[in-house]
Structure 1
Amino acid sequence: MAQLKASEADRRIAAMEKSGPDHALYLIYGPDHGLAFERASRIAKSSGADMEDAFATVRLDADDAASDPSRLADEAHTVSMFGGKRLIWVRGTTRKNLLKAVEPLLALPPEDAVVIIETGDLKKTAALRSRIEKSPHALAVPCYADGGAAVSQLVADMVQQAGKTIDRETARALVDLLGGDRLASRGEIDKLLLYTGEDREITMDHVSTIVGDAASLAIDSVVDAAATGDMAKMEKTTKRLLAQGTAPFLIINACLRHFQMLHMARARMASSRQDAGSIIGGLRPPINFQRKDAVVRALRLWSGPDLEKTSRRLDAVLLECRSNAALEQPLLMTMLLAITRQAQRLSRLN
């Protein structure tokens, strides 16, 4: 069966970067969209296709690929005019049956093309995921939020590649400040490396100055206000962030990570019979002390099914933002208003 454990994905992709892709089709899925994009990009580069050549690299929206099921196979089996590998990269989600477009490729895999399907989170029972996991010609690559060990490795790799050093205590402090989203973590580490300039050693002063800045704290404030039903604070802080140039998708992504964390914490409450305060107090990396009370209130407020439903809506909104940047801000405000009103309704019921 062609499926990877989440912990094996980076090692497998590193091997592809040395010797080339080992399957004709790759399904990159999961809730961490930053990590999904990073892994899809690495596989794309390893394919050997010229990513600047529109004939060698074809990019398709998932909805378009599903609307014309024969197009994906036609593109994959088209012979390059000038020789060499071709890359077919499908991105986004669709309510249509994308599996119909994929089936011909599993029956007759292309010899001179690599197909990448980068999508959102998929249940184990999802038809597309299930079919690809059973095919010897395709590989499913899961992308879940980074845990502490993965973030530590990311820090170590990026610092080493930059020719700098960081001691264990400073590295641990940096990891505690970074979240589980791979793309956001890379952005913070890149910013830190740029700030250190010609300094060879990264110090605690560098980390405290650059990482976890006021904008990040303000985004957390928006998330907590929405999750606890504080409409005035949510609207005021969101408007200030947008006026300062904060990208709407960063706020949506922070909301998604927060509700996924609450969903996990709610499950632990049910299995361990601990109260909300104990569960939040035991999280690693720890919740910032300034946020702890608000996070505990949110965990007490939201049920498991409500958290799961909201996480899925946020996931869908984030993908829609990526496909239509012009709608980012309206989508953000609509989603935040919906979450805040739901929190207010839950407060009245409790």
Structure 2
Amino acid sequence: MILSKRPDVERFLREPTPDIRAVVIYGKDRGVVRDRANALAKRVVERPDDPFDTAMLTDGDLDADPAKLEDELSAMSLMGGRRLVRLRLGGEKAGPDKQASEALARHVEGQLNPDAFFLVEAGALGRDSLLRKVGEKANGCAVIPCYEDEAGDLARLARDTLANDKVALNSEALDLFVSRLPKERGVARAEIERLALYLGPNSGVTATAADLTDFLGVEPEASLSDAAADAFGGRAGAAQTALRRAAAEGEGGPAAVRAMSYYLGRLRRVLTLHKNGVDLQAAAKAAGVFWKQEREFLRQARGWNLEAILEIQGEILTADRACKTSGSPDQLLAERLALMIAGRARRLGL
């Protein structure tokens, strides 16, 4: 079975169903894959790091000894009870994928130790992956694809991780902090842990946006959030320059388009609230606009209207699809989108 919806995945990780004896977790973001695998391992055995309860294998182990995986899946726990066999596939070789799929098929059919739990962690498995095909069709196996974190995912990760150290951020500080976090789960987690040390573990502090000034420093001029703000503010040259600097720092065209989409969504929410009778400044606060950016954002909100926003939304969706096409000049597409938005903003009087 395939578990792709977040509530289903979280429910399964908390309480794996007894009829499942194998799970394949895969995705481009290995940090998300690792987090979910670790959470599941803790539910399967009491001591997931104990070699008596858990066998840890990699694709290198399969290359060295093709029979090792099935040997481990056939072995009984030395301490009695359930045994966990974890396999981490780090490369894109067909051999380990084929070996893992064959072992998975035999295991779910009950040919190996029925008390063993087979947990596979892999990168972005394509549709041609035998492991993925076998896992999706086999009874007794769950397949969990992992996708890139969104802002809400990172916010939950930040809240939960900081709460473990008995520190927190208020809503404005959380919004600011998450906007600066990288999308890769492992790197984001390291930044959150660094913030916890900065705030003081077990201090009970709830930090404000102002408290984060020294920790975050001055946001680079090339930040994608500033590029989006420049575009919607009618500053074409500044938006283009920011995007090129962001590209030099490793932020590609798809990320730039997402930043502009996120900014448009916030602007649309403010305008919708205002249309329904909410004061413009109160609407901006409700949408989570950072107080240092409020004056400029309100200037833009007074210039834009919902009709123009809907037209731009269509352009953003088109650019997003184009950027995801193999071999597309995504950076140029993002710059073209920013210039188009800035041009429309100028025509609106901004």
Which TM class, normalised by the smaller chain length? 0.5 to 0.7
Matched, 1:101 2:98: no
* 2:134 match: 131
Distance 1:120 1:260 in 2: 20
* 2:10 match: 10
TM-score by length of 2: 0.60
Distance 1:162 1:182 in 2: 19
Q: Partner of 2:326: helix, strand, or coil?
A: helix
* 1:335 match: none
Q: 7-16 vs 110-119, which deviates more?
A: 7-16
Distance 1:118 1:50 in 2: 19
Q: Partner of 1:304: helix, strand, or coil?
A: coil
Matched, 1:281 2:260: yes
Matched, 1:209 2:206: no
Return structure 1 stretches of 4+ with deviation > 6 angstroms.
Answer: 212-215
Q: Sort the Cα spacing of 1:213 and 1:7 in 2 relative to 1 into closer, same or farther, 3 A.
A: farther
CA-CA distance at 1:88 after TM superposition: 1.2
CA-CA distance at 1:162 after TM superposition: 2.7
Q: Pick the structure with greater CA Rg.
A: 2
Q: How many aligned positions are there?
A: 257
CA-CA distance at 1:123 after TM superposition: 2.5
* 1:323 match: none
CA-CA distance at 1:260 after TM superposition: 6.5
Letter in 1 for 2:260: G
CA-CA distance at 1:307 after TM superposition: 6.3
* 1:1-350 → structure 2 map (5 Å cutoff): 2-8=1-7, 9-16=9-16, 23-48=20-45, 50-65=47-62, 68-91=65-88, 92-93=90-91, 94-96=93-95, 97-98=98-99, 99-108=101-110, 110-197=113-200, 198=203, 200-211=205-216, 258=252, 261=255, 281-283=260-262, 304-306=325-327
Q: C-alpha offsets along residues 248-298 of structure 1, whole Å, 9 cap, x if unaligned?
A: xxxxxxx5x847647xx5xxxxxxxxxxxxx76324699xxxxxxxxxxxx
Q: Partner of 1:142: helix, strand, or coil?
A: strand
* Structure 1 unaligned spans of 5+: 219-226, 238-254, 266-278, 287-298, 311-350
Letter in 2 for 1:40: A
Q: Sort the Cα spacing of 1:303 and 1:203 in 2 relative to 1 into closer, same or farther, 3 A.
A: closer
Distance 1:285 1:33 in 2: 30
Percent identity, aligned pairs only?
24
Q: Sort the Cα spacing of 1:207 and 1:113 in 2 relative to 1 into closer, same or farther, 3 A.
A: farther
CA RMSD of superposed structures (Å): 4.3
Q: Sort the Cα spacing of 1:187 and 1:10 in 2 relative to 1 into closer, same or farther, 3 A.
A: farther
CA-CA distance at 1:10 after TM superposition: 3.0
Q: Sort the Cα spacing of 1:142 and 1:72 in 2 relative to 1 into closer, same or farther, 3 A.
A: same
Paired residues of 1:68 and 1:101 also in contact (CA < 8 A): no
Q: Sort the Cα spacing of 1:176 and 1:214 in 2 relative to 1 into closer, same or farther, 3 A.
A: closer
Paired residues of 1:21 and 1:46 also in contact (CA < 8 A): no
Distance 1:144 1:45 in 2: 22
TM-score by length of 1: 0.60
Distance 1:172 1:283 in 2: 13
Q: C-alpha offsets along residues 174-216 of structure 1, whole Å, 9 cap, x if unaligned?
A: 121113222222211111111111351122134333247899x
* Structure 2 unaligned spans of 5+: 224-242, 266-319, 331-350
Distance 1:213 1:43 in 2: 39
Distance 1:21 1:180 in 2: 34
Distance 2:84 2:264 in 1: 38
